[in-house]
Amino acid sequence: MEKSMAVTITWTGHATFLVDTVGGVLLIDPFLDECPTSALNASDIDCDAILLTHGHFDHTADVVAIAKRLKCPVFCAFEIAEWLNKQGVDGAVGMNLGGMTNVPGGVAKMEMAHHSSSLPDGTYGGSAASWLLEVGGKRIFVAGDTCLFADMERIGRVDSQGRRLDLAVLPIGDMFTMGPDDSLEAIRLLKPFAVLPCHYGTWPPIEQDVEMWASRVRDEGIASPHVIVPGDSVTLD
């Protein structure tokens, strides 16, 4: 069994995360300089690899600048990788749903999501995705932008070593993704120990009462909700 180590997840705002795996830092869906709630600028970021869930601007706005500056790999849908190559990014690694790859600190599997995907210039971005991370002995599911879907039950099943998900990162903003009600059903299907909400509060159409959401999660006893502000972190020991 893989040795368990502390893994720290920092929410910079919206749907952007830094995952410190001890073996390296993963940056997920970089939207920083133009994000009204971001705690960091793109120039502040230091990471070893970037993972993208899909191509929309609020998940990719700073990927080109960061990837070029740090010369780090970018794991993403094949179509996004082709687009990044045309933007002068050398380290784009194209994948597709179901594929698994080594990342700093562990492995990442590109799982399904139900959402559209196009790049900021309108280029088709392939299938939207989620990420199942196994890093530092922890299992973390980053849903990306998605609606509720039945395969969350499969994703949340215990692995061959009997381990549940340690953390699920779920959108709750509604309008463009699932909202609070469907996110609770997602938690019931995924059965994580803890859940971290995102993709809310950035603009008026996705404003949510996150404390009310957390209270509902606690009242049902389905997971431990972590409500943090941009710039704060959750550590999985």
Do the strands 100-103 and 233-236 form a parallel or antiparallel pair, or are they unpaired?
A: unpaired
pLDDT at 185: 98
Q: Are 74 and 17 in contact (CB under 8 A)?
A: no
Give the pair of three-digit tokens for residue 32: 């920083």
pLDDT at 22: 86
Distance of CA 226 to the CA centre of its chain: 15
DSSP line for 126-162:
---EEEEEEETTEEEEE--S----TTHHHHTS--TT-
Average pLDDT by stretches of 10, the chain with 237 residues = 82 98 96 98 98 98 98 98 98 98 98 98 98 97 98 97 98 98 98 98 98 98 98 97
Residue with tokens 């590109």: 110
Residue-range domains of the chain with CATH: 7-236 (3.60.15.10)
pLDDT at 68: 98
Q: Are 79 and 52 in contact (CB under 8 A)?
A: no
